[in-house]
Every structure is written in structure tokens, then in C-alpha cells.
Chains A and B, each alone.
Chain A
Amino acid sequence: MSDDAAGERRSAPAGQPPAPPRAAGKISGPAPARRGFFRSPVLWPIAGILLLVVVNLLRDPTFLKVTIFERHFFGVPIDLLNHSAPIMVLALGMTLVIATGGIDLSVGSLVAITGAVAAMAMARGVESLPLIVAAALGCGALAGAINGVLVAYAGVQPIVATLIFMVAGRGIAQSLTGGNVILIKHPAFEFLGNGFFLALPFSALLAAALYGVAQLGLRRTAGRLFIEAVGDNPVASRFAGVPAARTTCLVYIVSGICAGIAGVLVASNIRTADPLQAGQNMELDAIFAVVVGGTALTGGRFLLSGSFVGALLLQTLTVTMLFVGVKPEVATVPKALLILLVCLLQSERTRGWLRGLFARRAPA
């Protein structure tokens, strides 16, 4: 709808009688590149978050209250940031995968596997934190590489290729830990998911830093161009000299590493490695964050900031449901309706209808 409002402004410059024919603007196929903050698709999830915050404030005016406690910030918004960090990290990798026209269903299981690997490393007496984290990330990267090779070189559909790890992953995690839930006692490791840095939760800062690095890295290199080209048309981009297969494979590896980071954060936050419950439905949450953030599942264009905000919206929604008194199991209903709403808003047909509505109203 903001689209149409913007179009209205563009096609009717005030006080200029020989206005360009309106129809021309309406028929023109691809919409002109939307620039500026107010036309950014990120605005929708931000509006959603604000709406939810207002709902919460109406129920409980102290919702946004942040106090300083033991030299770090303390309050609901801080918790919210801390808890959305794993989804943010997953959504980062997922955005890149979706941008190439793929999907990665394995990340939830990989969260369980990498958490189990980290816990097993600690249980076997590995003390050094970099080593533990490297083992977890390495496992994530390896699994991502397998996904990537299947998709990019064997030509398997992304849904199918990543389904293998989604099905087998929890079994692998269970057999790693011998079917047990492993408790973690390692102060440095526990810091990752619970600690505070500069008075803010470390995990959220880490997630934000990763987004910053990804955004800068993709802008400074040809990475963004390659990914978008592959997502738009893999064959054409290959003929144009883009290393399509390598790009696709790399994107899955990045997603695997992101799953590794998320796995470490989750295990660290709850101080346990739970092969069954860790990362349950997280792949779906990550996809949700990406879609709500304005990246289309068809691939091509992508929006990292959108996924960041999308993950935040998801967590805000969960917290709101908890505050309103909805059981956490039932909280999936509003999630489903939100996905549906976003899908319908993004679809060409709905946009056509809306445009038609506005066009009919305009001349009257």
C-alpha cells in the first residue's frame, strides 16, 4: 500500500498542469527501484515490532523499562535481544541461501549437532574455548559443505538435499551424546550465551557484528552481485562468467557455520546440550524471519537488515504471547497467520488488486 501512495506522489507533481499521463506510470512493468528509508520493505517488520511494543506497553507500562543491575543493563528488551540472537544468526545464513533460490532445512538439526559437539569436546576435557568453538563451527561448515555439494554439483533440489540432514541430524546428535542431555560447566563457554559486553548481551552484539561484517563484506566484494545473479538465473549467470556452483556451495557452507554459531549460543545459554530439543523448529523460525524481512523465497534480491529485524519481530511476538498469557505451544498460531499475511501481501495478485482499488479511487 505504501507502494501506491508513493506512486501517487510521484505521478502528480504539485502545480504542474502538463502532468505526465498517469496510465504510463501504472502500466510500467517492474516498479522503479525503491530508495529511501520510507519505501524500504524493512519498514513493515519495524512497524510490526512497534505495534507489539505498544500492545505490551498498554498491558504493562514497565515493559520497556531497563535498569542497570550489577553493571549491565537488565530488563525485558535486553532479554529479548539476548534470546533472538541465535535466530538472527541463523537468519543471516538463511538469507544468503534463500537469495540463491535455495533453502536450508538442516539448520535446526545442525544447531543440535554443533551444540552436542561442543559439549562432548568439553566433556572430553578440552579446556580451550577457541578449540571448542572451532570444533562446533567446523562441524557446521562440514555439514554445510555436504549440503552445498549436493545442491551445487549433484544438482539435487535444495529442499531435498537439506532434508537429509534435517532427518538424520537429530539422530547424529543423539548418538554423539549417547542419547543423554549433557550439562555444561565451563565459565568461558557459558559467557557466550549469557555474558554481557559493554553492558549489553554478548550474543546480541555478536549477531549484530556478524550482520555488519556480512553487509560490508558483500558490498565491498562481488559477493552480493554473484549471489543475486545466481538467485535470479543460475544458468544465465554461469554463462555470464559467474562461478555459480561455487557461489551456491559457499552459501550453504556459510549457513552451516551460522548454524554452528547458533548452536554454540543456544548450548551456552541453557548450559546444556540437548540433542532432541535444541534447535527444534529453529529452521522454520529462521525462514520466517527471512520472509517477514522482505526477502522473497524465489531468490534474487535479498535484504540482510530485513532478516535482522524479522528475527527481532519473531522474538517480540513470542514474548508478547507469553505476556498476554498465551501458552507457548499455541503461540505458533499468530506466527502462521503472520506468514500468511506477508505471503499474500507479497503476491503479485494481491498487489494487483490493491493497485486496482487505488486506481479506481484516484480519479473520483
Chain B
Amino acid sequence: MIARWQRHLTLVATAFVLAVLYTTAALLYPGFFSAGVLANLLTDNAALGIAAVGLTLVIFSGGIDLSVGAVVGFTSIFTATLVQQHGFHPATAAVLALLIGAALGATMGAIIHFFRQPPFLITLAGMFFMRGCAFWITTEQLPFDHPFFLKASAFAVPLGKTFSLPATALALLAVLVIGSVLAHLTRFGRNLLALGGSEQSALLMGLPIGPTKIGAYAVNGVCAAIAGVVATLYTGAGNASLGLGLELDAIAVVVIGGTLLTGGRGHMFGTLLGVLIFGTIQSALLFDGRLNSAWVRIVVGALLLAFILLQRFLVRGLRRR
């Protein structure tokens, strides 16, 4: 009973922090507590959230992926070039980008698994590779003017009189739902958590370690590519330097969401809370106007520290039991 309660303690703590942050912001800045601001939290952080969902799966398995931001940049410039200069339909280009994301993820996963290499280093190479390839295509920004793209980026579901959910926010919600189902209701998700808990035990239990690990990286690659498409929709142009440093924010979001970076423990819902916390800090600083954007990173860093220490003590407490 107690263990079960404790397992969700980090989640509760995350929700508490979100509530405190949001209430403080709402009390300080008039107009912060509105559906429009809430919807914007989702819209503005859609790419980050989608990348974080994929990363959550990889972190569940005890790995890490640093290539996420670079894949976002590559997807953006790759689709833009295909559409604007080679006459592809945006949907075809997006599907091709997703396939590349999956292929990259699977390749990195296979190298990590078969050659027993540290995920950190291999995905670092992946990051260098994809970012370099993105700049190889072109270092210039490439605005979209394809009618389908414009329609997609203007698409929004109206929810009430003053605000609506655009396609990017809908994509985030869809990926979150799919990710949650994948992580918590399927065999694949259970295998992932088992693998992250202890690879040795998972192996001895006869779980398919290789396919699970490679699958996690492949799914993450797809998520990163979706994040790239969404970020491109959001900015309206292909840009090779899109998503610089996104992987760090995504990792921070996942950790703040209560997922253990050592793997084997966590919840997809926490990642959503993490994204919302990140978004709240960002919008609150924007509302304030006195503090510059540098403070977003400092506050996120401080939160990261607090949550990591909290997790340490929780894990220690559980071990002692």
C-alpha cells in the first residue's frame, strides 16, 4: 500500500508544483487564469511535448537520446526542401521524414544493443550527424507557401468564443494519448519498464530485450520527427537550426515529470505535467516582462535539481524498506 502511494509521490509532487506555479502566476498577473493562456501552453510547447513523450519511452528503458533536437531541425529543412523545391506534397514529405526518424532511431538502438555501447555516446553521434545533414541541405530558412501546408497550419478546432486548439496542440494531445497507451497498457510498455528496472532480470525473464530497446529508440525517432513537423507548422518555415537544445529541455521536462532517469519507473502523465510546468514558467516570465528569457533556464534548472534530489530520497527510502 505504502509503496504504491510512494510510487506516485513524485507525480503528486509534480502536480503540486504545477498548481502552485500556476496559482502564483494567476494571482500576480491578471488575465493569466484564462482558457486562452491554457490552450497556448499546449500550442507553444507542442514540439517540446511530443519530443518529451518519445524521450519518456527511451528513458523508461534506462537509455537516453540526445539526437532529438537535431532530428527536429533535419525534419524541418528536409520537408521544406522537398515541398518547396522538388514539388512533393507536404503529407508525403512528412511521412518520408517520419520514416527517416524511425530508421535513425532503430539504427542507433541496434548499435546500442548489439555493440553494447553507451546510449549517451551513440545518440550524441546521431545528434552531430543529423544536425550536420540538416545544415548540409541548406543553412538558409525556407518559408512554405504550399496551400495544403497553409491550410494545415491555420487549422484549428474552436472551443468557445475566444480560443481554439490549433493542429499543433491537437497533435500533442494525440501523441500523448498514444504514448500513454503504448507505455502503460501494452506489453511493449511493460517490457520497457522491466528493461529499465534491470536489464539482467529482464533478460532472465525471457523478455525480448533487443526488439524492445530498438523499438523504443525507433518510436522516439518517429516522435522527434513528428515534433519536427509540428515545429515547422508552428514557425511556418523550414529551418535547419530549429530545435537547438530541445533535447535538454525535453529531458528536463521528463525528469520534472517524475520519471527516473535510471529507468524503470515513471508515468507518461508526469511528462504532460512537466510540459505544462515548463510552459507556465515561460508564459509567466513573458507576462512579467521584467525578467529576461534567461530566467526560464535558471528556474527550470532549479526545478530539475529539486526533483532529482526528491527522487534520490524516494529511491533511497524504497530501498531501505
Contacts and interface: CB of A to CB of B under 8 A. Distances in A.
**Most chain A C-beta atoms within 10 Å of own C-beta, residue among B116, B118, B128, B251:** B128
Contact of B128 (A103, A161, A332): A332
Contact of A347 (B117, B136, B302): B117
Contacts of A62: none
Given A157-B262, A171-B297, A337 B129 contact: yes
B252 interface: yes
Contacts of B296: 171
A332 B132 contact: yes
Nearest to B306: A164
B111 A340 contact: yes
A329 B297 contact: no
Nearest to A167: B301
Given A157-B262, A291-B121, A333-B136, A164 B128 contact: no
A163 B304 contact: yes
Contacts of B305: 150, 164
A159 B117 contact: no
A155 interface: yes
Interface of A: 103, 150, 154-157, 159-161, 163-175, 179, 275, 284, 287, 291, 297-298, 327, 329-333, 335-337, 339-340, 343-344, 347-350
B304 A333 contact: no
A211 to B, nearest CB: 23
Contact of A170 (B125, B128, B297, B309): B297
Contacts of B302: 168
Contact of A175 (B127, B261, B295): B295
Contacts of B248: 163, 166-167
**Most chain A C-beta atoms within 10 Å of own C-beta, residue among B64, B124, B296:** B124
Which DSSP category, helix, strand, loop or mixed, fits chain B's interface? helix
A92 B126 CA distance: 24
6 contacts: A150-B305, A172-B294, A174-B293, A329-B135, A339-B125, A348-B116
Given A168-B302, A333-B133, A343 B122 contact: yes
A127 to B, nearest CB: 28
Contact of A287 (B116, B121, B262): B121
B190 to A, nearest CB: 24
Given A154-B312, A332-B131, A333-B133, A168 B297 contact: yes
B121 A339 contact: yes
A164 B125 contact: no
A284 B124 contact: yes
A168 B281 CA distance: 14
Contact of A159 (B111, B261, B312): B261
B29 interface: no
A69 B248 CA distance: 45
Interface string B5-45: 00000000000000000000000000000000000000000
Contact of A167 (B124, B252, B262): B252
Contacts of B136: 327, 330, 333
Given A167-B300, A169-B301, A174-B292, 17 more contacts: A103-B120, A150-B308, A156-B308, A156-B309, A157-B261, A161-B308, A165-B301, A171-B295, A297-B120, A329-B131, A329-B132, A335-B132, A336-B128, A336-B132, A343-B115, A347-B116, A349-B115
Interface in B123-157: 124-129, 131-133, 135-136, 139
A179 B292 contact: yes
Of the four ranges (under 10, 10 to 19, 20 to 34, 35 or more), the interface on chain B belongs to: 35 or more
Nearest to A165: B301
Nearest to A168: B301
A337 B252 CA distance: 28
B121 A343 contact: yes
Contacts of A336: 125-129, 132
Nearest to B255: A160
B297 A327 contact: no
B298 interface: yes
A104 to B, nearest CB: 12
Contacts of B121: 287, 291, 297, 339, 343
A355 to B, nearest CB: 15
A336 B249 CA distance: 22
Given A155-B312, A339-B125, A175 B292 contact: yes
B135 A159 contact: no
Nearest to B130: A336
The 10 closest A-B pairs by CB, nearest first: A168-B301, A171-B297, A174-B294, A333-B132, A329-B135, A336-B128, A336-B129, A332-B132, A332-B128, A171-B298
Nearest to A171: B297
Contact of A163 (B135, B252, B295, B316): B252
A131 B262 CA distance: 41
A150 B304 CA distance: 12
Contact of A172 (B115, B129, B298, B312): B298
**Most chain A C-beta atoms within 10 Å of own C-beta, residue among B248, B252, B305:** B305
Given A163-B248, A330-B136, A335-B128, A343 B312 contact: no
Given A154-B309, A167-B252, A343-B122, A159 B64 contact: yes
